[in-house]
Each structure stands twice: as C-alpha cells, then as structure tokens.
Structure 1
Amino acid sequence: MPSGSRHISRVVWLSFLVLVGAGFLFCSRSRPAIRNVLLISIDTLRADHVGAYGFPRPTTPNIDAVAREGVLFKNVHTPVPMTLPAHVSMLTGTLPPTHGLRDNLANRLPDASLTLAEMLKPRGFTTGAIVSTFVLDRRFGTSQGFDTYDDRFQAVHKIGDLSERKGDETARHARDWLDEHKAQPFFLFVHFYDPHDPYEPPEPFASRWREHPYEGEIAFADHCVGQVMDKLRQLGLYENTLIVITGDHGEMLGEHGELNHGFFIYEGALRVPLVVRVPGAAAAARQVDAPVSLIDVAPTIVSLVGAPVPKEVQGVDLSPWIAGRGAGGGARPIYAETVTPTHYYGASSLLGVIVDGWKYIETTRPELYDLRSDPAEAVNLLAREPARADALGRTLVSILAAAGRAPGPAPESAALDEESRQRLAALGYLGRSGGVSSQVFDRSKEDAKDLIAFFRKDQRLNKLVEDKKYAEARALCEEMLQQRPGFADCHLQMSKIAASEGNLDAALTAARKAVAVGPKNERAHLQLAALLKERG
C-alpha cells in the first residue's frame, strides 16, 4: 500500500477508536476491570533462566510472584534475536519482513506505522515509555504514540559512553512516572537492559552471583522489576493494572559456538518468557503450552482492554488462553530470522519456522530439528526427514510471501551520525553493509555455521580496539586477514588504531585499503573522508 494510503488508514483507525469512546477501557462484564497497562521488557532474558520456567537458582523471585497470580506462556519465541527489530515486532504486532527493521543499525520505524501506544492512546490512556539502551532511542521511531519517551540517560555506565543505563535508574524513573500519572489511566512501557553483555551486575548481586554474572544481571533486573511492582501497590494501582512481563530475545551463552545473540536462531536466543497478570479472579493462574510469538503481545493487550485489533497486526490475540478458553494452536507456524551473517559477511541469512515442535532453518545447509526430543538442536534430521523439511520450507515461503504483501510503509534510513554509530559499536553492534532478500532462498552463499569462529574473533577485535589494546588488535587483524583477505573491517580497524596513535599516513593507507576491498562499506568511506579532511 502506498505510504499516503497507509497514513489515511492510520488516521481512520485512530478516529474510529476515539468515536468508540472510552467505554471499553474497563472491559466487558466478562473480563476483569483494567484501568492501566504496564508492559515490562527485559533485554536478553532467556526463558530457561527464569524461576517460573524451572530455573533452579533464585534469579527471578519478583517475576515468579507475578506468574503465580497470572498466566505463564511456556512456548514463546521472538521473531528476531536483536533488540530493535524485536521490540518493533512487540510494539506493532508485525514480523520483521513486514515492518522492515531487520537489525539494530540501518533503519527507523516510519511515522506511518501503527504502534501499541497509538492503539491505546485514543482510548484514554496516558502513554509513557522508559528505555535503557541507545538502540531504542527515539531516532529509530520507537517513540511513536508515547506522550513521554524517556531515552536520555543520567548515569554513565560505560566510561565516556551513554549507550545504556542500569536498571536502578530505569526503575527510579518508572516510579517517578507512576507518581506523576497515578490519577489517570495509563500505559507504561518499561525496558530493562541489564542482562545484555557485558555482564556487570552491581553489588550485592556481583558478589552473590560471582560465578554466574549473567544470572546476576537477571537477578538485578528482577529486583528492579520488584521495585516497580512495589510502587504500584503503594499507589493502590496493582489490582487494576494489566501487567505483561516479557523479553526481547535470549542469549546463546556459548551454545553452538555463539557467546551472545544475533548470529544464529537457535532456541537459546529465541525462547523468551511471557507472563500476563490480568486484574481479578477471572484470570486464574495457569500455564499455557500453545506456541506464541512476541508479535502476539500488542493484539493481546489491545483485546484485553476491549478494543478491536487493527487489521495490520499479524499477531494472535491470546486473551482466550488467558481466560482459560483457548485450545489447540500447536500447528501454528512461528517465524524467526537473523540477517546478521548477511550484513556482516555476505553469508546466507537464517530464516526459520517452527510448527508443532519441528523447527526448520533455511540457509546454505538447511537444518531440521525435533525440539521435543532434541531441545538443544544437536541432531540435524534433514537427511532422515526430507519430506518434512520440504513441507516446512513451503510453509516458510508462504509466511515470507504474506509478510511481503502486508500493507505498510517502507522502512526509513536512520541517518546515523558517526557518534551514534560509535554508541552502537560500544554496545557490540558492528554495523556493516550488505543487502538481504527475505523472499529468495540463496544457497550459493557461505553458511553462517562456518563463520561463527570468525564472528567471535570479530567481536574480540572490536573489544580490543575499544579497550585500546592496539598491539593485540593488530595481531588479531593480521590473523583474520589471512583467513579473509577481503574483509574490509580489519583494514578499517587498523586505520582507527593508527589514527589514535597519531600516525595519519598509516591511517590513510589502511582506510584506502578498506574502501578498495569494501566499496560498499559506508564506515570505511566515512573514515577515509574524515582522515582526508584532517590532512587538509
């Protein structure tokens, strides 16, 4: 649909909600009264590290307490293991191939898109958001529909950098926001970033979780969630607030060779928690096995407050399962993707679908797993089950075709300046060029499985340069260039090292090499231009 028509559709939808009025704000008589909505997203939170999901150590007592009073969805996947596109899917109810944001780096959500805040605001909700990473900065379009969008950090967590803030600051801002807006119905979105790498929990969590710092970060984030829950109770708002707690993606923790997330779409990176507490006894505590995607969050919240779900939304309304009336759903296909291998190295993207416990990953060497008997995805059953793989492949093609046909504006360039790119680099996002087509399977490119060791070296190189360990960085660059002589970013890093040491000639030589071997590498061109300007 053309952008102008999409804008008209959005205006008509919002006008319709206003005309319907706020009568549904307290829901129908068959549902508990909902005055407020609180959506909490905890970045990089694996479902299997949450106590309510069976984790043996006490990482999440506060989330567990909410789960005991609500509905826990046991089988939830993110459509993409990257912070920005995952949150855009969460807040729009659409898949990455539809909304167009495939990673954290290049694009922003167009203003013509329809977000959860925009769906709720016309129904009388005051809307606010408090985010904890630069990746969700308003320049990426995530502030649409929010009356207040708190993305300005006060405390410096990383030396000289304001790319993220710790959960105690986020929780303090959330409590202050609740104090200020307690008199009116509200929708508040709170994002905690702490479990994201590097794992550096504050005391006393650092000491308590010395052997398991990732778990310490989760425990700290959970503590901060508890502070927000306590504020709701203090203000007398807990019993009439719809509470939704989830995560944007997980963390691989070394599984399949990946330390963090974003490169693969195995379960460690895709499985996230989802806990929904609806006010009142009608929503008795229960656990639900049905397959769920993060794109279901928006339509579920909209439905629970009594509003119709916009036709643009691709997610499923989970309110029947919350009310205990849902059944089946096992054959629903769940989509997941990562384009990181393409953007970084020109390799095949990973496009996946999960149906009834079977998971198919389309790539150069496709993969098929029976998640019920092999949750670790250790045995590729493609050769044994070719017919099943073909059927799932056709399902994947259908999902991508439907996503491509879905109405919506094209993604817009985020137009990042060099400082913004450096802030993303400080968070571990390496920013490369390289296109991806989600509609065509190209098995002629390198397989991401063959590049994970190189990817880890790439991550280590970025950290060495950030820490100014230049001798080690040079040695690693030379080693990496022996493996991939055309890897422009090694030359780019060598240029940055030389420039930092005041060797302008060497910096220019390396920058020219980076441009020569990577003519589409925007960062290499920017580096060369900056150096030429400095030389005069």
Structure 2
Amino acid sequence: MMPTQFGSGFVNMDMKTHLRAGLWSGIFTGLLVGFIESTFLLFNTGSFLANFPFFIRASLLYALAGAVGGMALAVLLKNSLLRTPSQGEEPILSLPADKLKSFYVSILLPFSLFVGIGAYLLDIVFPLLSRNFSTFFYLALTGLFSIILGVGLFKFFPLSKLGSERSWFIPVSFMVLAVVYQGMLLGAERGELRGYTSRKSPAPPPKPNVLLIVMDTTRADHFSSYGYRKPTTPHIDKLAKEGRLFTNAIAPSSWTIPSHASLFTGVYSSKHGMGYLNSYLSEDLPTLAEILSKNGYRSLSIYNNPFAGEMVGLSRGFDKAIGVDLDHRTSLTIERLFQRLVYNDVGSNARETVDAASNWIATTAKTGLPYFAFVHFNDPHTPYRAREPYFTEFKKDINLNQVDLSKVAQVNAHRRSFHKYLNGEVQLSSADFEYLKALYDSEIRSVDEQIGRLMDSLKEKGFLKNTLVIVTADHGEYIGEHQWMSHQFLYNTVLRIPMVFWYPEQIPPGIETRYVSLVDILPTVLSVAGLKDQIPVHTQGMNLLPEGSQGINLVSLTGPRTVFSEWWSWVPADTDQSSPNKSKALLKFTKEAAKDIATKAIFDGDWKFIWLSNGKHELYNLANDPEEQRNLIEAEPEKAQELQAKLEQWLGSFQQARVTSGSGKKEFKDMLKSLGYVQ
C-alpha cells in the first residue's frame, strides 16, 4: 500500500507521545463541544435548564469524554495507520511531528459535531416515522461539512504546543472566555426574568401553585390505586391515599388533541372542534394557562406529544413551552446516550421531562411567583417498550410458551404497527395480549417512578408547599378489548381515566364515585386559585368544590351527573364499530370521512348510550355490564330514546364549533400519519 505523504517523523513517535497528544486534543475538543451544546441549550430552552452549574457539568463531562476518546483513538491509530513500520516497510501514513495534535483534533472535533448534529436531526427534525430522502440528504450534508472542517482544522489550525508545560494558557484562556461569555448570557436571561417578575408580581394573599401531570394513553384500570392486581403505581397510590381519588373520571374523547383541548378550555369537543373540524385551537376560547398567566402565575408546558403542544395551539398562554425531543432538546447528547444505554430509556423522555420541570419550578420559586406547570408524559403510548426491572416482574404470571413473540413484534414495532391487527393481517392470542399488557404496565410503572422522583425533589426543596397537584390522563388504551388496539371509538377501556387531586391540609383525603370529566379541571383550578370570577361563561365543566364552602375543602359530590365523550373517526359510514377487524378503512384522514362517522357517548347514572352517525347506536347498563359486552339497544329501546333525547338536548344548548383558519394544515395530517392514527 502506498503511504499518504505529508512529511516525515510522525510514525516513529512512541505510544506515550501519541497518548499525550490524544489526551490534550480530546480535552480541547470536549471543552469546545460542551460549550457549544450548553450555549445551544441556553437559547433553546432557557437559563432555568442551561444555567451555570449545567455549563460546568457540560464542560467536565465532555472534557472527560474527550480525554478518554482521544486516548482510545491514539491507541487505535498507533496500532493501525500510525504503527511503526517494520524494516524496509513503507509507513501507511506519515505526517510532520508538529501536526500531531492538529491531526487528532481534526478527527475528534468533526466526529463529535457530526454525532451531535446527527442526533438532533434524527430526534427533532426527522423523528422515526417521518424520515425520508431529506433525512439522508441532511445527514450527508452534515458529514460533508464535518470532513471539510476536519481538513481545514488540520491545515490551518496550529496546536503543536497544546499540552506542553508552557501552553496551559490555551485551555485556560478558552475556559475563561467561555465562562465570561456564559455569564453574560445568563445575566441577560436573569435580567429578563427580573423584568418579567416585576410585571407579574401577584397581589396578596399568595396564590397556590398548580402542578398538572398528564399521562398519555393511560387507562385507570391498570393503576394499582384503582384495584389493578399489579403494583404499577406505588407513588401515585400514595398521592391518592393522601388526596382525593376520582373513580369515575371520564375522558371527553379517545385521543390526544380533543382531550387536551377540553382539559385546557373546559369545553367539550363539539364546542372547540379540535381534532376533527380544526387542527388549531380557536382564539375565541381562552385557555387555563392564559387565565392564570394574566393573574400573576408563571406557567410552563413541557410535553412529549406534538398533539399537546405548539403545533395545534395548545401551548397558547404558557410563558414557556418545551416539546421534549419534539421541538426542543433538553439535555446533552452525551447524557442522552448514557441514559438510553444505562436506563434502557429508548423512546422514553420521562427522566428528561422531570429534570426540566424540576429545574424550571426551582427557578420560578425563587421569584416568589406562583407557578402553573403542565407536565406531560407520553411513555405508555405505542409502541410499548420493556422498562426494567418492572417488565421482568410483570411478565412472571404469563406462560411464555403460549406467546408468539414474532406476532407481538409485528404489531408493536412502531406506532403504526397495530394496524396489522386491526386489518386482520396478524391474529393475536390472549397470551400475546397479556405479554403486550406487561410491556404497557412496565411503562406505566416507569412513569410512576419518575413522578415519584419529581415529587420527592420538589418536596425536599420546599417547592410543594401550598401546591395543588393533579394527576390524570387524556385517554386510555385498547390492548385487545373489543377486538381493538390503540385508542379509537368510545368504550370505557379508553374513556375511564385516572384522576387524583393532592393538596395537603386543604383537600381532605377520600374517594369520589360520581362522574367527573377533564372539562372540570379548568373551573376547579381557577376556583382553587381564588379566580372563580375568571371562569369563562361558556365553560361546560363544573367546579368540583362545593359552592359557598370555607377555604377550598373538596367534599363528596351528591346528586346525578351527566358527562359526555366524543370521537370523530376516519372510517366509512357503513363500518360496523362492534365487529372484528372493523378498521380496515382506517387509512386516510379527510374532513369528509370525519364528518361521515361522528360518535358521541352520554353517561347518565348506570346507563351509557353511544350514538353513531351511521345509525348503529349502542346501549349499555354499566352496573350490570361494566365491560360493555351486551348491547341493549334492541332490548331497551325506551331507555335508548331517552338518552338520545338528552344528548340532542345537550348538543342544542350551545353553539357548536365552526371551521377556523388554522385548519387543514399539511403538517397536522402528516403528524397524524407519523403517530399511527392513519396509514
């Protein structure tokens, strides 16, 4: 092999010289990359996360990683391309001795930047199911940039004295300049925060903080506090024991957008139109965050599902909105890789979510302002991933010999895989579904652990004083029930959600059995905050606090309560929802299809009536048939007519949603496809 000639004297250096060069080149590269990443995160998220300790940690982590990587590279190259040739053998690569450190930096720095930028492209710009030719084009462009940078560093960046006894000024000078620059940026951020605080100083008495935790795709009957046989939620169970547990909380819809819109506006889907008529929240509907922010609260939305954030207008009113690994990066690349390898957090952002929320609350608490933090976890969503050690524990009672792991893998490979079961391509046994449930349960348990970590952290720092904590979900999940997977239609498997209120010394512990809904959150929170007069007149939820009570003591509700749920499907009007393989036509999202199948449910006492626009209505007595296995639509026609009349009366009591200018966005439809709602 002919050597690449750049000079002479390079290959004859001993291993010690190479290790020293690799060490110093790695430290230099690590410091530079740590500075770049922490500065990026400062502008991307804010000083509450990328503060000075974060900057120091980033510098130390990357300097250490660079040192290890540089020495490993030195060993690798010294024993391959840069090995000392045998007698009469031509060297593979020969370079001038004064270019040694430049050579190592020209490899380490471009490679580090390629990994960091590549990870950002794959995580944020092109998430898993939206990757296409553009993804590879930008990765190739990043690779080309890295190569050009490497060549430029080698040719024009002299580092021959880096690491010598008299050249400490290079890394020291860099660190001093970096610290000064970081301090200037943080100073500017804090100055902005002080101005913000002066504009929002709340009037006495101090208002309570509000921590609203939402677990995506989480059904109540898989919580141990709701009687589930597996210990899936020990930390939430503790909150439920000390607070108020609602056993009949009903989601206003069976999927993310309409349920979150109802949560933030206090109105049902027919009123806000989100998720079927509109892909963006109407400006006519004030949100909980808007009302609280106008009344002295500092507010945060940290979400892990794009359908709970900025893309659909649900971040409106929040002072800070962060889409973890969706719109924003909230941790260093090196930390992310470590967490995914050590904690098996592939596809999970729960740990980063808790870290970011905890830091933001700590920063806000120092301002003296009350906070409203919306913290959203998406982990229980498909595809289900084994979270250890919980999965090993939860699968113990499953006969693994009866599980067809190949079929399980086919329906659980990615977000759209469940369609293979719905369209009849893959048939699953009861053992297969039990295996999927064990995976699902392990994700719930993993999120519960992170919620416990968040609560412990805030409690230890004193940031839970005078704080209302609400834990709930946007909807549940089918795992074989009614021959469904994922979350469609309006059976209780996807509508019955957990709801826990925790406010020590203010809300007495207890269990509430009457129907409540996510639309009740807005009026209840505003009442707790002393803002009853700010509850919008169009609100369709109810204040779960007794009128005229002293303080904010929550007492057991009495009397009948009727709640509603709605879903607009993407299937033809002649589809039978109660038949197996019902969703072969769950293929395209169009407004025409959405109008063809409108599904609405009314809960009234022991009865539940499901109205379908195709006329195939269903009726269930939940007291006798909680699993909704016996459709009584023909056996109880009078009860069906009574409930349909109530439903129609309710729908006629308010102005229903109309199409707004934010509707029909291509990115909205593309996101529906990427998340598996349509094919």
Other structure's SS at 1:191 match: strand
- Identify the residue that residue 459 of structure 1 maps to in structure 2: none
- Identify the residue that residue 257 of structure 1 maps to in structure 2: 483
Partners of 1:43 and 1:193 within 8 A in 2: yes
Partners of 1:134 and 1:424 within 8 A in 2: no
Q: Deviations over 1:209-232 (max 9, x none)?
A: 454001011111111111110121
Any residues of structure 2 matched to 1:116-265 within 5 Å, and which?
A: 116-153=288-325, 154=329, 166-183=349-366, 184-210=369-395, 211=435, 212-262=438-488, 264-265=489-490
Structure-2 separation of matches of 1:191 and 1:326: 28
Structure-1 separation of matches of 2:617 and 2:282: 33
Structure-1 separation of matches of 2:297 and 2:220: 30
Partners of 1:200 and 1:217 within 8 A in 2: yes
Partners of 2:200 and 2:296 within 8 A in 1: no
Other structure's SS at 1:108 match: coil
| 1:109 aligns to 2:281 (yes or no) | yes
Aligned-pair Cα RMSD in Å: 2.7
Any residues of structure 2 matched to 1:464-479 within 5 Å, and which?
A: none
Any residues of structure 2 matched to 1:283-322 within 5 Å, and which?
A: 283-308=507-532, 309-320=535-546
Structure-2 separation of matches of 1:24 and 1:164: 43
Any residues of structure 2 matched to 1:415-494 within 5 Å, and which?
A: 416-417=665-666, 421-430=669-678, 462=679
Q: Which of 240, 258, 261 is residue 88 of structure 1 equivalent to? A: 261
Partners of 2:324 and 2:353 within 8 A in 1: no
Partners of 2:200 and 2:297 within 8 A in 1: no
Q: Counterpart of 2:558 in structure 1: which amino acid? A: G
| 1:266 aligns to 2:491 (yes or no) | yes
Partners of 1:109 and 1:412 within 8 A in 2: no
Structure 1: gaps spanning 5 or more residues? 1-17, 27-33, 431-461, 463-536
| 1:357 aligns to 2:568 (yes or no) | no
Partners of 1:352 and 1:362 within 8 A in 2: yes
Structure-2 separation of matches of 1:237 and 1:256: 44
Structure-2 separation of matches of 1:20 and 1:151: 27
Q: Deviations over 1:98-151 (max 9, x none)?
A: 011135x95110233200111211221101110001222302101111000001
- Identify the residue that residue 399 of structure 1 maps to in structure 2: 650
Q: Counterpart of 1:194 in structure 2: which amino acid? A: D
Using CA pairs below 8 Å that are at least 6 residues apart, which structure has the higher relative contact order?
1
Other structure's SS at 1:129 match: strand
Partners of 2:258 and 2:275 within 8 A in 1: yes
Structure-1 separation of matches of 2:653 and 2:512: 27
Q: Counterpart of 1:205 in structure 2: which amino acid? A: Y
Q: Deviations over 1:285-336 (max 9, x none)?
A: 1001111111001111111111112212110100229835444232x22111
Q: Counterpart of 2:530 in structure 1: which amino acid? A: G
Deviation at 1:278, TM superposition (A): 1.8
Describe the shift of the 1:423–1:327 C-alpha distance in structure 2 as closer, same or farther (beyond 3 A): closer
Describe the shift of the 1:218–1:325 C-alpha distance in structure 2 as closer, same or farther (beyond 3 A): closer
Other structure's SS at 2:274 match: coil
When the two structures are aligned, how many residues end up with a matched partner? 395
Partners of 1:47 and 1:271 within 8 A in 2: yes
What TM-score, normalized to structure 1?
Answer: 0.69
Q: Counterpart of 2:496 in structure 1: which amino acid? A: R
Q: Counterpart of 2:470 in structure 1: which amino acid? A: V
Partners of 2:379 and 2:443 within 8 A in 1: yes
Deviation at 1:207, TM superposition (A): 3.5
- Identify the residue that residue 227 of structure 2 maps to in structure 1: 54
Q: Counterpart of 2:215 in structure 1: which amino acid? A: I
Deviation at 1:358, TM superposition (A): 0.2
Q: Counterpart of 1:380 in structure 2: which amino acid? A: N
Q: Deviations over 1:253-305 (max 9, x none)?
A: 1111111102x10000100011001231x422100111111100111111111
Q: Deviations over 1:14-44 (max 9, x none)?
A: xxxx999734644xxxxxxx2x110000011
Describe the shift of the 1:202–1:423 C-alpha distance in structure 2 as closer, same or farther (beyond 3 A): farther
Describe the shift of the 1:235–1:21 C-alpha distance in structure 2 as closer, same or farther (beyond 3 A): closer
Structure-2 separation of matches of 1:198 and 1:235: 36
Q: Deviations over 1:62-109 (max 9, x none)?
A: 111111111111111011011011001011100001011135x95110
Q: Counterpart of 1:196 in structure 2: which amino acid? A: H
Structure-1 separation of matches of 2:449 and 2:660: 36
Q: Deviations over 1:232-256 (max 9, x none)?
A: 1122022321101100001121111
What TM-score, normalized to structure 2?
Answer: 0.55
Structure-2 separation of matches of 1:324 and 1:185: 21
Partners of 2:215 and 2:474 within 8 A in 1: yes
Describe the shift of the 1:52–1:320 C-alpha distance in structure 2 as closer, same or farther (beyond 3 A): farther
